[in-house]
Structure 1
């Protein structure tokens, strides 16, 4: 099995330990919302995960927290139709957004939760960063580009995260990494570092944990 090193700046031991402690602590489901009035009140700083259907959002949340069933995973794209909120040790809010694109659901349902997601991304003041997940096997797609544009227009900080990196050979992965980095570099609200992960192999998980810990309330 090939393990891919994270790209960009390496975390120091203190950052890695901060990430380990944050995600090893309590992590509780707090709310599920399918409309704006159902959103929980803003309190903790929040980060969220966005991406097309079946990109691996739930698997990544589970890998980060070390809990297999925290976020529901499904082989059927589009099964997560709500915004799912978690509380990470009363230090950080974690939000799993509905997937976009190719969902096996009625068109009106897709439009409703796409609209909700857009409203959330554009108007949630407690949101510190959006992690936009991109399937390494597909690269940046039309839906991803639309979300990138929305985040830029809303001045919401976001970072690209490649998922399923273990599914590609090193040469192919390097090619998609370079292409994704080139796209990211054209967006004003984007964090410059590309995170390369595999929930199954564990690649990049420690690095991403350490980065996310920087947004948590310090104790």
Structure 2
């Protein structure tokens, strides 16, 4: 990451960002006219908090103490004129949700990830305290099969000792190397301290403009 690219990313995210719409089904998606960056992750991984940190807004994405609150694809327009869109996806792996609801979420996520041509990059969020779970690996395999490029982003990195974090990053890096669609760079972040947020903004900007 160069200082120039980091500054360009900072300015982009400091500009206009607005909620566009929620899409409960694929037919409700906005027209595929600009690049999209999707945030995916297990319920309670800190997805909404990370989106708020990246966009430097307090309440753009609705953070909740109730896992699984996001049940639709939530779209946010970045830039005016419009440059790209962020997509907040329903959390996956929420065991306490009704089975038919989990099934609907899974179909929505799978169909979106596999069929959206303007999707430039998926950010697969992983809790730094727990590392990769089988449900994350399922999503990674699906993205590999669909040839959708993705970044593994560690959340809540401030909750882990630096030595443990380094081991977790190393283990995930080794696993990511076996996945053809995984980006080699692992991004540890913290919504609370701001660590890694500039790097994540830059990675998003580079994915959109590449």
| TM-score of Structure 1 vs Structure 2, range by shorter chain | over 0.9
2:41 equivalent in structure 1: 51
> Distance between the aligned counterparts of 2:41 and 2:135, measured in 1?
8
Equivalent positions of 1:133-212 (< 5 A) are: 133-212=125-204
Aligned counterpart, 2:205: 213
Instruction: Check 1:103–1:68 CA distance in 2 against 1; reply closer, same or farther (3 A cut).
Output: farther
C-alpha separation between the residues in 1 aligned to 2:31 and 2:180? 28
TM-superposed CA distance for 1:57, in Å, is 0.8
Q: CA deviation at 1:102?
A: 2.2
1:106 positional shift: 1.5
Q: What is the SS of the residue equivalent to 1:93? A: strand
CA distance, structure 2, for counterparts of residue 52 and residue 216 of structure 1: 24
Report Cα offsets for 1:137-166 as digits up to 9, x if no partner.
110001100000000000000110000000
Corresponding position: 1:29 with 2:19: yes
> In structure 2, do the counterparts of structure 1 residues 212 and 21 end up closer, same or farther at CA, with 3 Å as the change threshold?
same
Q: What's the counterpart of residue 83 of structure 1?
A: 73
Residues 6-30 of structure 1: CA distance to partner in whole angstroms, max 9, x if unpaired? xxxxx11110111101100100111
Is the contact between residue 53 and residue 77 of structure 1 (CA under 8 Å) also seen in structure 2? yes
Instruction: Give the deviation of 1:101 after TM superposition.
Output: 0.9
Partner of residue 124, structure 1? 116
- Decide which moves more: 90-99 or 205-214: 205-214
User: Structure 2 length normalisation: TM-score?
Assistant: 0.96
Q: Give the match for residue 17 of structure 1.
A: 7
Do the aligned partners of residues 103 and 72 (structure 1) sit closer, same or farther apart at CA in structure 2, a change above 3 Å counting? Answer: farther
Deviation at 1:46, TM superposition (A): 0.8
Ranges in structure 2 where 5+ consecutive residues have no aligned partner: none
Q: Tell me the number of residue pairs that the alignment of Structure 1 and Structure 2 aligns.
A: 208
> What TM-score comes out, normalization by structure 1 length?
0.92
- Whether the 8 Å CA contact 2:6–2:199 is kept in 1: the answer is yes
Q: Post-superposition shift, 1:104?
A: 3.5
Alignment of 1:32-111 (within 5 A): 32-89=22-79, 90-111=82-103
Relative contact order: is structure 1 or structure 2 higher (C-alpha 8 Å, sep ≥ 6)? 1
**Secondary structure at the counterpart of residue 151 of structure 1:** helix
